[in-house]
A and B are shown apart, each in its own frame.
Chain A
Amino acid sequence: MRTDDTAAFDVEAVRADFPALDQEVNGHPLAYLDNGATSQKPRAVIEALRDYYERDNSNVHRGVHTLSERATAAYEGTREKVRSFLNAPSEREIVFARGTTEAINLVANGFVRPRLREGDEIVISHMEHHSNIVPWQMLRDELGAKLRVVPIDDDGALDLDAYLAMLGPRTRFVSMTHVANSLGTVNPVREIVEAAHAVGAQVLLDSAQAVPHLAVDVQALDCDFLAFSAHKVLGPTGIGALYGRMEHLESMVPWQGGGDMILAVTFEKATWNAVPYRFEAGTPNIADTIAMGVGLDYLREIGLDRVAAWEHDLLAYADERVRAIPGVRIFGDAPEKSSILSFVIEGVHAHDVGTILDSEGVAVRTGHHCTMPVMARFDVPAMARASLAFYNTRGDIDALARGIEKVRDVFRLNR
């Protein structure tokens, strides 16, 4: 679809671009509300994958032949698309990685590890995804550092005062989620970055759940690193990107050795390639990288302001509909929230909720959402999570509400 800034958001036209949305599941129209796990893909992304393999397939940065030139141009062109998407100063500050997880591990091992001394502190929050907990625990255990965890309140909002009090001369690094995947909390990332910089610490933002829903500008945020995964923002799985400030990337040692990350190799030594190629050893995931760029183009054409406004309205509607059902408890009431509605139904385990919703064609995530500390904080073993995208409609939310009523019916809670 094409829209201009003044046009109303035409959700039906958008939905027509997503082939997977047009199907029945268990006899009901699919209501896909598991976008926090992965988004559906527009036809343009699917076609980009096919076109690449049918026309341009070859290796990048190597051949002088036409196909290799085309593949390299499309691959490197994606770096510029990501730069522009994040408003990074230079496309050389964009490193391709398998996803957010790999990007965080790259920063942990390439940037933080050489700087970390015994007793130094790494700060994360209680609402992090496991992928932003475990890499830091591994460093902590190996190097004798400390992991400080900023608490969250009963609404799932970050305790900013506790964070500020936690910062000090021993703070070496802060790694914080931008939007929390199980609670939807939008963190005050600008303040988080500013306070960390004031004590000389650098900041990585896990923006996996942010970039599909709100405009992200790394210069305005002033963050040192920012990571996201393509598959949550209309692109394929297995690819994502890390933004890193040039001075930091220049100071980092390679993480993996291999082809493409070197300038010259003898048996005595290897000379590293320039940033960002230094961090991209081996033949990269070319097709998926190119398709990631196509997904970002698609989102940009719709406009993240329009996306945010549509989703904001939809989340308010979902909150109202679901909260009105007896026996439902919603988690995550932070003042700034995006796209996520997590809940439990009293007396019913989340997995039973998931199975019954699926029987109504409603796809949600159930479980701990890779945030076991959040489950412990709210004292539940698991939650059901509806996570929205701009192609969802009020009809999808109505299906969710009907599904929850069905859960109550199957479990005889309406009597």
Chain B
Amino acid sequence: MNDLRELYEEVILDHNRNPRNFGRRPPECNRAAHGHNPLCGDQVEVSMTLRDGVIEDIAFDGEGCAISTASASMMTQALKGRTGKEARSLFDAMHAVLVEEAEPDHDRLGKLAALLGVKDFPMRVKCATLPWHTMEAALEGRDAPVTTE
């Protein structure tokens, strides 16, 4: 069995219990997108204040499993203050490990590395990537709901 302890690391459980930047929209929010995995029931809204290409504030709302909740929570922490370009690059680095089976670049991923245990649980990768795809849609101002199913 792939290691459950790696999937449900302490930091994941902590973000699931106490999600950061959760349940609100940034006061001057000007971008938002909705993600929905209908088979799972995972729902996430990612909203941000984007000024001069910089994510000044970012938050999320919704309902999902521990993996998607922790992924969204850690994502908002990692992206606050970054440029849209840096956010995409970080998503690419996550995606490479989770979907394309690349070796993780720990320097680049930092704390987000805690999310990588999900790569051994193929059925759950879509839970971890949903908030990221939704974030990308918000950056691009896309209206259509995002799904990773």
Which residues from chain A sit less than 8 Å from chain B, CB to CB?
26-27, 347-352, 355-356, 359, 367-368, 375, 381-382, 410-412
List the A side residues contacting B2 at CB < 8 Å. 359
Cβ contacts under 8 Å, A348 to chain B:
66
Q: Is the CB of A382 within 8 A of B1?
A: no
Closest 10 CB pairs of A and B: A349-B65, A26-B1, A351-B65, A381-B41, A382-B41, A352-B66, A352-B65, A359-B1, A410-B8, A359-B4
Please give me the residue from chain B that is nearest to A383 by CB atom: B41
B114 to chain A, nearest CB (A): 15
Can you add 13 more A-B contacts, CB < 8 Å, to A381-B63, A381-B64, A410-B5? Answer: A26-B1, A348-B66, A349-B65, A349-B69, A352-B65, A355-B4, A355-B123, A359-B1, A359-B4, A367-B39, A375-B41, A382-B40, A411-B66
Of B4, B13, B127, the residue contacting A356 (CB under 8 A) is: B4
Contact in complex: B66, A367 (CB < 8 Å)? no
Interface string of B39-56 (1 = CB under 8 A from A): 111110000000000000
Query: Do residues A355 and B40 form an inter-chain contact, with CB atoms below 8 A?
Result: no
Task: State in angstroms the CA–CA spacing of A381 and B39 once bound together.
Answer: 11
How far, in angstroms, from A356 to B17 measured CA to CA in the complex? 18
User: Which of B1, B2, B123 gathers the greatest number of chain A CB atoms within 10 Å?
Assistant: B1
Of chain A, the residue at the smallest CB distance from B7 is A355
Can you list 20 contacts pairing A with B, beta carbon distance less than 8 Å? A27-B1, A347-B17, A349-B69, A350-B41, A351-B42, A352-B65, A355-B4, A355-B121, A355-B123, A355-B124, A359-B1, A359-B2, A359-B4, A367-B40, A367-B41, A368-B41, A375-B41, A382-B41, A410-B5, A412-B13
Contacts of B41 in A (CB 8 A): 350, 367-368, 375, 381-382
Complex: chain A residue closest to B4, CB-CB: A359
> What is the CA–CA distance of A66 and B13 in the complex, to the nearest angstrom?
65
How many angstroms from the CA of A412 to the CA of B65 in the assembled complex? 16
Q: Which residues of B contact A26 (CB under 8 A)?
A: 1
Minimum C-beta distance from B80 to chain A (A): 25
Cα-based distance from A347 to B41 in the complex (angstroms) = 16
B139 at the interface (CB under 8 A from A): no
Q: How far is the CA of A351 from the CA of B7 in the complex (A)?
A: 13
CA distance A19 to B149 in the complex (A): 31
Residues in A neighbouring B5, C-beta threshold 8 A = 410
Contacts of B123 in A (CB 8 A): 355
Which residue in chain B gives the minimum CB-CB distance to A375?
Answer: B41
CB-defined contacts of A347 to chain B, threshold 8 Å: 17
B67 located at the interface, meaning its Cβ lies under 8 Å from any Cβ of chain A in the complex: yes
Give the chain A neighbours of B39 by CB distance below 8 A: 367
B residues 1-54 in Cβ contact with A at 8 Å: 1-2, 4-5, 7-8, 13, 17, 39-43
- Interchain nearest-CB distance for B108 vs A (Å): 27
Contact indicator A411/B63 (Cβ below 8 Å): no
Contacts of A351 in B (CB 8 A): 40, 42, 65, 67, 124, 127
Q: Are A349 and B66 in contact (CB under 8 A)?
A: yes
Nearest chain A residue, comparing its CB with the CB of B43: A381
Q: What separation, in Å, do the CA atoms of A368 and B63 have in the docked complex?
A: 14
Cα separation A349 to B127 with both chains bound (whole Å): 12
Give the shortest distance, in Å, between B9 (CB) and chain A (any CB): 10
Tell me how far the C-beta of B44 lies from the nearest C-beta in chain A, rounded to whole angstroms.
12
Kindly state the separation between the CA atoms of A375 and B63 in the bound complex, as whole angstroms.
Answer: 14
* Cα-based distance from A367 to B2 in the complex (angstroms): 22
Nearest B residue (CB) for A351: B65
The distance from the CB of A342 to the nearest CB of chain B, in whole angstroms, is 14
Contact A349 B121 (CB under 8 A): no
**Which residue of chain B lies nearest to A361 when distances are taken between CB atoms in the complex?**
B1
A411 contacts B64, CB within 8 Å?
no
Contact flag A352-B4 (CB < 8 Å), given A367-B39, A368-B41: no
Complex CA–CA separation, A368 to B41 (angstroms): 7
Nearest CB of chain B from residue A217's CB, rounded to whole Å = 36
**In the docked arrangement, what's the CA distance between A351 and B63, Å?**
12
- Chain A residue numbers with a CB within 8 Å of B121 are 355
CB nearest to A26 among chain B residues: B1
How far apart are B147's CB and chain A's nearest CB, in angstroms?
14
B15 CB, nearest partner CB in chain A, Å: 13
**Which partner residue on chain B sits nearest A410 by CB separation?**
B8
Which of B5, B65, B69: most chain A Cβ within 10 A? B65
Which chain B residue lies CB-closest to A354?
A: B123
The docked-state distance in angstroms from the alpha carbon of A411 to that of B40 is 20
Across-interface contacts of A412 in B (CB, < 8 A)? 13
The distance from the CB of A19 to the nearest CB of chain B, in whole angstroms, is 22
- Look across to chain A and name the residue whose beta carbon is closest to the beta carbon of B66: A352
Task: Tell me how far the C-beta of A325 lies from the nearest C-beta in chain B, rounded to whole angstroms.
Answer: 19
Q: What's the nearest-Cβ distance from chain B to residue A244, in Å? A: 32
Chain A residue, CB-CB nearest to B3: A359
Bound-state CA distance A375–B41 (Å) is 10
CB distance from B8 to the nearest CB of A (A): 5
Cα distance A412–B8 in the bound complex, in angstroms: 10
Residues of A within 8 A of B17 (CB): 347
